[in-house]
Amino acid sequence: MHKTPPFLSILAVLLLVILLAPVPTAAQGNEPTDDEVNAIAKQLYCPVCENIPLDVCPTQACRQWRETIREKLAAGWSEEQIKQYFVEQYGASVLATPPAKGINLLVYILPPAAFLAGAFILLRTLRSWRQATIQAEPVVPVQPEDPYIARLEKELRRRDG
Amino acid sequence: MVIQVGYFSLVLTFLVALYGAGAAAYGAIRRKTEFVESARHAMLLTWPLVTVSVLAIVWLLVSGDFQVRYVYSTTSNDMPIYLKVTALWGGQAGSLVFWSWLMAAFTSAASLRKWDRDRELLPWVVVVTMVNLAFFLSLSILFENPFARMWRTPDGSQVTAMFQPGGTMPLIPIDGRGLNPLLRHPGMIVHPPMQYLGFISFVIPYAFAIGALINGRIDDRWIRISRRWTLVAWLFLSLGLLLGSWWAYDVLGWGGYWGWDPVEVSALIPWLSATAFIHSVMIYEKRGMLKQWNMVLIILTYALVLFSTFLTRSGVLSSVHAFAESAIGPMFFGFIGVTFIASLILLIRRWGALRSESQLHSLLSREALLLLNNLLFIGILVVCVWGMLFPLISELATGQKVTVGPPYYERAIAPLGIGLMLIMGVAPLSTYGRASWKPLVRALLKPFAASLLVPLVLALRGITNLGALLGFWASALVALVTLYEFWRGAVARHRRHGEILPLALWRLAGRNRRRYGGYVIHLCAVLMALGIIGIEMYQTETQATLARGEQLTLGRYVIIYDSLAQFDDPGGRYVTRAVVSVYRDGKYVGEVYPRQDYYYAPEMTVTIPGVRSTLEDDLNVMLVGWEPIPTGGTTFRVILNPLVNFIWLGGLLFIFGTLVAAWPDRKS
Amino acid sequence: MTQEIPAEAGSSQLPRRWGIFLVWFLVLGILGVLGFSLMRAHQGPIGIGDGVPDFILTTFDDEQIAIGDLRGQVVVINFWASWCTPCEHEAAIFEQAYQMYKDRGVVFLGVGYADTEREARAYLEKYGITYPNGPDLGTRISQAFRTHGVPETYIVDPDGHLADVRIGPYATLNEIINAVEGVLGY
């Protein structure tokens, strides 16, 4: 069988990676497009219209903020730099989720911790129930010929009756 | 005159409700049936009385009596009559009365049923519902009086008061400020009544649960009565949520149906615990287990209703949906505190008596899987409550505001959602009681194997996103298992009774409506999951400023900007409307008309997207801005939402499924 | 809330007591958060007679002004934004008031709320404002004052206590003069 030389596959993969890689945002000097501005604005919230993402907020204040994003993009800033700038200017509440430090860590820790605790309690409870049940009556393995039909018929009988 | 009648009837209802609560409690404690009967009559009287007040408000709204502050702030002369009527729930004061009206209607309906078997429960049900009704009425009477009028004092300032203060003159504006234009939408007209119905109807199961806790008659009467009420409440609440998201999708112009806004989340949380209850109550009915847990869920659901209502109406949360700051906060807080603490004390006192025998033969049994489902729903609930509370906690602790927005919710809930889908795929095939691997695996094998084809085919067709593939696979599994269940049941009947298949299917569903109604709802969940995956993972958008005749491309679509017109509309608005041609794969498919309406009365602008909607995707074209000169550039934003219409399709099927499940049994 | 799943089979007394404690802690904790948040929401801006929170204003000219260093003088703090139409109405009369009082021991400070630097500078230039102005970095100052929006004006007496507050714009120069004279007259 004919085998593709490995370097060709590597080349193909490389080519694919290059093709699929995101286009670098706005090289310096270029006028950034609305889409590039919106992509960042989507992740920010202004204090004037609470809980509405910046890209759709119609107020004058938000329009000015979007212009600022455009200016910074044109100046060659990265997305991370721009977000950092907004945090410095307007506080952490502009971010969609609070930065993970200090008391804000609770945001990320508490839900999984609560879920794990709940899962642990549920599992323990189920186990102890099963233990109690098995001790109370030893399991007699009964296998009806088709458990589903048997169940269905049993239920139907009860409903009819 | 109408004003006085409406107001006094409100006060009267309040007194009647208080009397009902007092008489019922007295009658229950002293075992005097005539007091209980009298209390029940009082309860029946509340609804006609609040109806008088509601009619009075509607009369004032329609006739445009702008001296009444509520009429002034929610209507204007140029509004059509149906909008004037719906302004009843367009502001805090009116919607509170509307809320009380619905609550009175529901409690009256609950008291109309036959009570012979529930003599001991009845008085406490009356107490709980009437105390709740009296509380909401007192908010209207003391703080948010919809009948309060505006007066001008001699020094020129204005006051709002029910009765004319000495030395003032009536202040009668010639026109009102008008209803918030965002609320002038069919979805918004139906959404609040549904949402409120969903919220308030949970007071009935709650009242039965508390009644059972107080008098200690904790057999299974209360749970049997509660179950159907909960299902009805759940239907309304689900419809409220669906209509709300349809409204958000259509009107807010975000190109999204759900923004994880705190107010949206607050509407969702009672639904989560109610959904958990609807599942866990099945274990109770089948196996007599989990009495305690079911009680917790019912009380929790109503507690969350109060919690949500408090957060949205007291001014603690600020959001597009929230009511403006209001004076009802402290009293509402007191009521919530008393309700939470009293319920908890009762629950702890009766905890031992609520114990039920728990048998578990296998971790694969239906009951174990349903409990896992409960764990996941409660997990989502914890995520939501925490997401709402944390900004408040952070502000109290550090003085700094933070936003807990969509990324938090999406990241935390996505895995739980996938888990729910998987359980939904497995649980219908598991059995109660003794369950073991073998039959479950045997039943699951065929649908499981078939479901794997879906991600395979999608992957071959170029979908590479792992999350999306996982979601599509889980949806396929649920759909196949559910359809397989219908098929197996119908075939079994066909074999046994010789019925033709469609008839067998019909009879099968008729014999066990709750199960098959539930399965229909599972199919809705699949449809909605498709829509959610589509919009969350494959939404694309672009924005650009076009001159006339220029085009903008998004995926397979091309739009061409044809023209822009600006004109006055009889509805009291100034409309800017663009005409845009849409091409798909180079073929002309129609025109859309994105608009921005400026409303003169409340001085607000509303963006209405032009939508080309098909089952495959929605193309939303929005008008973002335009240059003053008509020949100048106009900015459009184009959003493509694949599969989004499956959400609404699932919603329609959902109504059907819930009706099947909740339809009353024929009396035999 | 997750913790309430009945743990009856393992019904030794200890976990049960812990469970009850935990549930009370949760319920009372949530009520506490709601209660304090409600108080905060109802509190409105800081009250007259209260000590004014400390802050440092970094002006557009890169000057650092600490409110703590201005003791002994009356300080007029005006919150504004370039996107705020009512602010424009009072911008010019504030400058006039500043010119009247700058030699009489009254300090004027402008704080730009949620504003962008370019528009803010353009606004200051357009209305010819010469008293120190700076952005509200991190919206810290407005949060400390618990403002609801713009414009709002706070007048601080020489001891560092709030003496007068105006939510919304001043309509005329005389209103500002009356307010400042009222504080100077103490």
Domain boundaries, chain C: 2-43, 56-184
AA identity, residue B382:
V
CB contact under 8 A, C139 and B379: no
Residue listed under structure tokens 């994880």? B260
A109 shares its domain with A129: yes
How large is the average pLDDT for residues B600-608? 81
CATH code, A35: 1.10.8.640
**Phi and psi angles of residue B624, each rounded to the nearest 5 degrees, phi first:** -95, -40
pLDDT of the residue at C65:
92
The answer to whether A153 faces chain C, any CB pair under 8 Å, is no
Q: How far apart are CA C87 and CA C119, in angstroms?
A: 14
The pLDDT tens digits for B3-30 are 999 999 999 999 999 999 999 999 999 9
Q: How far apart are CA B27 and CA A5, in angstroms?
A: 92
The answer to whether A58 faces chain B, any CB pair under 8 Å, is yes
- Average pLDDT over chain B reads 89
Residue from B310, B305, B348, B328 nearest B203 by CA:
B305
> Which residue among A65, A96, A127 closes a domain?
A96
CB contact under 8 A, A96 and B407: yes
CB contact under 8 A, B404 and A107: yes
Peptide bond into B407 cis (omega under 30): no
CB C74 within 8 A of CB C156: yes
Instruction: State percent of chain C over pLDDT 70.
Output: 91
A108 shares its domain with A134: yes
CB contact under 8 A, A51 and B262: yes
CB B314 within 8 A of CB B327: no
Chain pair B-C, CB pairs under 8 angstroms: 77
The answer to whether B563 faces chain C, any CB pair under 8 Å, is no
Q: How far apart are CA B509 and CA B504, in angstroms?
A: 9
The shortest C-alpha distance from C12 to chain B (Å) reads 13
pLDDT of the residue at B78:
85
Q: Which of A51, A105, A130, A158 to mutate to test the interface with B (most CBs of B within 10 A)?
A: A51
Give the nearest chain A residue to C8 (CA atoms): A125
pLDDT of the residue at C153:
93
Q: Which of C37, C85, C147 to mutate to test the interface with B (most CBs of B within 10 A)?
A: C37
Neighbours of chain C (3+ CB pairs under 8 A): A, B
Boundaries of domain holding A27 = 23-96
CB B509 within 8 A of CB B519: no
pLDDT per residue as tens, chain C (186 positions): 444 444 444 444 556 788 889 999 999 999 999 999 888 877 777 888 888 889 999 999 999 999 989 888 999 999 999 988 889 888 989 999 999 998 888 999 999 998 998 999 999 999 999 999 999 988 889 888 888 888 999 999 998 899 998 888 898 999 999 999 988 875
Q: Which residues of B touch A160 (CB under 8 A)?
A: 511
- In this complex, which of A38, A93, A151 lies closest to B402 when CB atoms are compared? A93
Which DSSP state fits A51? T
The shortest C-alpha distance from C9 to chain A (Å) reads 6
CB contact under 8 A, A50 and B489: no
Query: Into which CATH architecture does domain B1-184 fall?
Result: Up-down Bundle (1.20)
CB contact under 8 A, C114 and A87: no
CB contact under 8 A, B635 and A34: yes
Residue B159 has pLDDT above 50, yes or no: yes
Q: Which of A89, A115, A131 to mutate to test the interface with C (most CBs of C within 10 A)?
A: A89
The answer to whether A121 faces chain C, any CB pair under 8 Å, is yes
- The count of structural domains within chain A is 2
User: Is the Cα torsion angle B136, B137, B143, B147 positive or negative in sign?
Assistant: positive
Assess if residue A92 is contained within a domain: yes
How high is the ipTM of this complex?
0.87
Greatest CA span in chain A, whole angstroms? Answer: 82
pLDDT of the residue at A147:
58
Within 8 A by CB and 6+ apart from B358, the residues are: A129, A132, A133, B289, B290, C8, C9
Stretch (H or E) spanning B575: strand B573-584
The pLDDT tens digits for B459-510 are 988 888 888 999 999 999 999 999 998 988 888 888 888 888 888 888 888 8
Residue from B353, B294, B290, B257 nearest B651 by CA:
B257
CB contact under 8 A, A125 and C9: yes
Stretch (H or E) spanning C108: strand C106-112
**Phi and psi angles of residue C112, each rounded to the nearest 5 degrees, phi first:** -85, 120
The shortest C-alpha distance from A127 to chain B (Å) reads 8
pLDDT of the residue at A157:
57
Q: How far apart are CA B270 and CA B516, in angstroms?
A: 24
A31 shares its domain with A76: yes
- In this complex, which of A49, A133, A159 lies closest to B359 when CB atoms are compared? A133
The pLDDT tens digits for B523-542 are 999 999 999 999 888 999 99
Q: How far apart are CA B541 and CA B104, in angstroms?
A: 47
CB C111 within 8 A of CB C141: yes
- Tell me the β-bridge partners of B590: B582
Q: State both tokens at A38.
A: 């919106």
**Phi and psi angles of residue B219, each rounded to the nearest 5 degrees, phi first:** -85, -155
Can you list the residues of chain A whose pLDDT is less than 70? Answer: 1-30, 137-161
A35 shares its domain with A86: yes
Q: How far apart are CA C40 and CA B222, in angstroms?
A: 41
- Tell me the β-bridge partners of B622: B637
pLDDT of the residue at B666:
59
CATH code of the region B540-646: 2.60.98
CB contact under 8 A, C137 and A88: yes
The answer to whether A39 faces chain B, any CB pair under 8 Å, is no
CB contact under 8 A, B434 and A51: no
A85 shares its domain with A106: no
CB B42 within 8 A of CB B16: yes
pLDDT of the residue at C35:
93
Within 8 A by CB and 6+ apart from B67, the residues are: B149, B150, B170, B171, B172, B173
Any idea what the Cα angle at residue A37 is, between residues A35 and A41, rounded to 5°?
115
Give the nearest chain B residue to C20 (CA atoms): B348
Residue B608 has pLDDT above 60, yes or no: yes
The answer to whether A124 faces chain C, any CB pair under 8 Å, is yes
Residue from B307, B246, B306, B299 nearest B276 by CA:
B299
Assess if residue A2 is contained within a domain: no
Q: Which residues of A touch C114 (CB under 8 A)?
A: 46-48, 61, 90
A85 shares its domain with A38: yes
Residue B322 has pLDDT above 90, yes or no: no
Fold of C56-184: Glutaredoxin (3.40.30)
Interface of A with B in 119-158 (CB under 8 A): 119, 122, 126, 129-130, 132-134, 136, 139, 142, 147-149, 151-153, 155-156
A40 shares its domain with A90: yes
Q: Which residues of B touch C6 (CB under 8 A)?
A: 290, 292-293, 355
3-class secondary-structure state, position A22: coil
Q: What ranges do the domains of chain B cover?
A: 1-184, 187-381, 406-538+648-662, 540-646
CB contact under 8 A, A96 and B431: no
Q: B292 or B225: which carries more pLDDT confidence? A: B292
3-class secondary-structure state, position C5: coil
A87 shares its domain with A39: yes
CB contact under 8 A, C37 and B392: yes
The shortest C-alpha distance from B456 to chain A (Å) reads 21
Q: B509 or B293: which carries more pLDDT confidence? A: B293
Assess if residue A149 is contained within a domain: no
CB C106 within 8 A of CB C78: no
Q: Which residues of C touch A63 (CB under 8 A)?
A: 83
User: Is the Cα torsion angle B509, B512, B514, B519 positive or negative in sign?
Assistant: negative
Q: How far apart are CA A139 and CA A137, in angstroms?
A: 6
Assess if residue A17 is contained within a domain: no
